[in-house]
Structure 1
């Protein structure tokens, strides 16, 4: 028997994990909004840092207005009392180091709050560790690249660029 889209998605729960820096989360949010409109019985848990979610709630409020889209905070990885040294991208390094544990903890909390197991994980391709979370949950991982192709190429060829040009 063929299931309709509506019945196939009842009770679905998509964990959305954007890279919380620069414009990454803001680029992913309109995609999630469209998916949420087309699948109103699916819950979309949008995990980002408190600072990122605060910015999105003021600049992208419309995309968070769907009742089935929930913006949830993930710890930013900055230890309590930590004093930044001024090192370039220090905040990103702290987030990426703590990200696997903090994101898994946030996903577990969302599952408990909604009563729905995660059925798919969608993330920014920057967050490579989300593939491990999806594997642990035994659900599909969809990696998205919302930025331009030139930046993708630069990331793919970073080692070659550094080898030929330098840091």
Structure 2
């Protein structure tokens, strides 16, 4: 089933859990709109596709975008724990399920085989299917970097179980790009998530760290025009003056887009790095787990502390609060500029399209 070199066929492959599929669908729609002469197939499980909003599954104006099911093995019922469903899905995809789905996509496209895979980074088995793989990382860039150099960090500094121990407050100054983060900010280790889910996530992220540097043609971070979720518009309403959040990467981008200062309570994964960046690098918010009191003791999240933080972000007259609000407005202006027709994010999207639609012999 040969591919037509003049007619690119791009498979956008979702990781069908949590919020990953809607984010990858936004990527697929943005690419399909930007490259109307190319064919795009959105690959995910039947259950994942069924959970997408009806308006998303039938995208208006994207006649070059179709949907293809990725097969799953085993019991995928709701009674099956999420960690086990994730594990079974990855096993099935690694065992040929992704390749079969790509063949089905080619058949549905009139015999035009897939020429490039745009895949969620968690779908790193896409590196083995024989066509260029552009990985989409749905988190922040520093968290991705931490995972890629994670083995070196563990060897040099600590084991996963020691992230919150004696070395937890040490800065990662030996690692370029991570010098403003502490050991306890790292996106691996316990962090409140343990057991089977921790084991499965460690397995997935370990494969990303090994495969991405050697096999990915490019890596895309989810910060392109049109990729923000509809609820991001809420933060752009003039009545919104503060955002209390777990500091997931999507929440950080939404706050920047809305020009709203943040109060962060991270729980696990990359949320600690994001909260640290909000409070100490970009300076448009505060983190409840940070040593904001100046004495090295984390600020605990209590009802009183939340009320105090929100009041300060909304209308506090202290210098720090005024600076956070001003910085949030500055970042919003930078986002607006980046999304202009000649802005950096728009140019990156155009480069993204060029890469995935490149003619290959």
TM-score range, shorter chain: 0.7 to 0.9
Q: Is residue 130 from structure 1 mapped to residue 126 from structure 2 by the alignment?
A: yes
Change (3 A) 1:59 1:151: farther
| Range that drifts further, 27-36 or 43-52 | 27-36
Q: Once the 2 structures are TM-superposed, how far is the Cα of residue 86 of structure 1 from its aligned partner?
A: 5.1
Q: Distance in 1 between matches of 2:80 and 2:57?
A: 32
Q: Once the 2 structures are TM-superposed, how far is the Cα of residue 152 of structure 1 from its aligned partner?
A: 3.5
**C-alpha RMSD of the superposition:** 2.9
> 1:6 corresponds to which residue?
none
TM-score of the superposition, structure 2-length normalised? 0.38
Q: Once the 2 structures are TM-superposed, how far is the Cα of residue 59 of structure 1 from its aligned partner?
A: 6.3
Q: Is residue 22 from structure 1 mapped to residue 18 from structure 2 by the alignment?
A: yes
Q: Which runs of 5+ in 2 are unaligned?
A: 164-189, 195-361
Q: Once the 2 structures are TM-superposed, how far is the Cα of residue 58 of structure 1 from its aligned partner?
A: 2.8
Change (3 A) 1:86 1:44: closer
> 1:108 corresponds to which residue?
103
Name which one, 1 or 2, has greater alpha-carbon Rg. Answer: 2
Instruction: Give the number of the structure with larger relative contact order, counting CA–CA contacts within 8 Å between residues 6 or more apart.
Output: 1
Q: Distance in 2 between matches of 1:71 and 1:84?
A: 23
> 2:134 corresponds to which residue?
142
Change (3 A) 1:87 1:141: same
- Matched-pair contact (CA < 8 Å) for 1:46–1:70: yes
Q: Once the 2 structures are TM-superposed, how far is the Cα of residue 117 of structure 1 from its aligned partner?
A: 1.7
Q: How many residues align?
A: 154
1:72 corresponds to which of 58, 62, 68 = 68
TM-score of the superposition, structure 1-length normalised? 0.76
After TM superposition, list the pairs within 5 Å mapping 1:1-167 onto structure 2: 10-58=6-54, 60-61=56-57, 63=59, 66-78=62-74, 87=81, 89-100=83-94, 101-114=96-109, 115-133=111-129, 136=130, 139-149=131-141, 152=144, 155-156=147-148, 157=150, 160=154, 162-165=160-163, 167=194
Q: Which runs of 5+ in 1 are unaligned?
A: 1-8
